[in-house]
Amino acid sequence: MATDTLVDPARTAEAAPPAWRRLLGSWDAILILALLVVVLVASATIEGVGSPRFYRFLVLEAIPIALIALPMTLVIITGEIDLSVASTVGLTCSVLGQLWYLGVTSLPVLIVLSLLLGAMLGAVNGVFITVFGLPSLAVTIGTLALYRGLAYVVLGDRAIADYPQAWTQNAVAPIPGTVIPWFVLVLAALAVVFGVLLYATPIGRSLYAIGNNADASTFAGVSVLRTKFWLFVATGAMAALAGVFWTFRFASARADNATGLELAVVAAVLLGGVSIFGGRGGLVGVLAAVALLGVLRNSLQLADVPANALTIVTGTLLILSVVGPNVVRMTRDRLRRRRPLTTALERTSS
């Protein structure tokens, strides 16, 4: 084959932009930069921000959000959503407390039963969504109410709080020599697992394909429904793990544990650059967003900003993160289009 018509020198001459340039322009980089700026500014201006105690509470608060954000990222990349996670946390806490109350005293047994319960709750979501083909938004709004209701059925208004001190202390114990809770290592390990899954396995490849075009994915041999089902199971299990941590961290199992947490998780995932329509985004940005939102919240709290204002700040950030990239793209297109060689006047005269 003659190459003259096939290879265009103007095109081959242009190499891919270097990796660091691509990284710098990315949303991930912007988030990390924003995180650093916020930390520096807040540490300099707000009393108490940047202290060891500050970081310790920051991490403790971020752990459950991050644990659930990991699978949530994958779910949203496939174009679905799970709003029932906070209620799953609540129901797991309640069952865990009740089991302890009824005399199950083995910690491993309690943990395993909790995770199984979470996986089961996720599977229920999965069945409605994949077998009956219902939209995940509707299904998980339903189970958001249902699971929370069940939590009240299990515990009522009681709080189970009499766990062995060793359990509750160990849950929040720092890594020796630091102030950082050791549980962050569990989170880190799981983040690596999810990261590898998303970026370096055939399953990760199919998640992006599903989120962009489920039809074409089916034609390429991706089991779309089966993949989604297992994602919901994983989300349930991770929410349950967050529930276990929650129970021991606060030494309290109550039916209303973690109410509203789903919004914190979804906010972090979207701010992290994952498209609500699926197909785009990644874990780096999401973890950065969890940290950024956490630092903002804790700093403003220390600055005595009322809780309402905090919500306003989070909401504004969220809207900016969703609207921002679109506005940038639209203005770019506008500008490009605005270059035709004739004026509007000539146009109307013709």
Partner 1 sequence: MLPVLALEGVDKSFGAVAALRDARLELHAGEAHALVGENGAGKSTLVKILAGVHGPDAGRLLLDGQPVAFGSPADARAAGIAVIYQEPTLFPDLSVAENIFMGRQPLKGLRRIDASAMRERTNELFGRLGVQIDPDRPARGLSIADQQLVEIAKALSFDARVLVMDEPTAALSGVEVERLFAVARALRDDGAAILFISHRFDEVFALCQRVTVMRDGRWIATDEIGNLTVDGVVRTMVGRDISALFPKLETEPGEVRLTVDGLTRHGYFDDVSFTVRGGEIVALAGLVGAGRSEVARAIFGIDRYDAGQVHVDGRRLRPGDPPAAIAAGLALVPEDRRQQGLVMELSIERNATLPRRWALSRLGLLFGGSERRSAADWAKRLQVKAARNTDPVSTLSGGNQQKVVLAKWLSTEPRVLMIDEPTRGIDVGTKSEVHRLLSQLASEGVAVLMVSSELPEVLGMADRVLVMHEGRLVADIPRDQADEESVMFAATGQREAAA
Q: Tell me which residues touch partner 1 (CB under 8 A).
A: 1-2, 4-6, 8, 10-12, 14, 16, 196, 200-202, 204-206, 208-209, 212-213, 215-223, 279-280, 336-344, 346-347, 349-350
Could you tell me if 155 and 254 are in contact, meaning their C-beta atoms sit under 8 angstroms apart? yes
Considering the complex, state which of residue 5 and residue 326 has its C-beta at the smaller distance from partner 1: 5
Could you tell me if 224 and 64 are in contact, meaning their C-beta atoms sit under 8 angstroms apart? no
C-alpha to C-alpha distance for 251 and 320, rounded to whole angstroms? 37
Considering the complex, state which of residue 145 and residue 216 has its C-beta at the smaller distance from partner 1: 216
The pairing of strands 253-254 and 159-160 is antiparallel
> Assign residue 180 a region: left if phi > 0, alpha if psi is -120 to 50, beta otherwise?
beta
Fill in the amino acid letter for 167.
W
State the minimum distance, in angstroms, from the CB of residue 335 to partner 1. 11
Considering the complex, state which of residue 51 and residue 201 has its C-beta at the smaller distance from partner 1: 201
Residue 253 phi/psi, 5° resolution? Answer: -105, 120
State the minimum distance, in angstroms, from the CB of residue 336 to partner 1. 7
**At what angle are helices 283-302 and 183-200 packed, to 10 degrees?**
150
State the minimum distance, in angstroms, from the CB of residue 333 to partner 1. 10
- Residue 154 structure tokens: 């299990």
Considering the complex, state which of residue 43 and residue 275 has its C-beta at the smaller distance from partner 1: 275
Considering the complex, state which of residue 18 and residue 221 has its C-beta at the smaller distance from partner 1: 221
State the minimum distance, in angstroms, from the CB of residue 57 to partner 1. 37
- Residue 121 structure tokens: 């709750």
State the minimum distance, in angstroms, from the CB of residue 138 to partner 1. 18
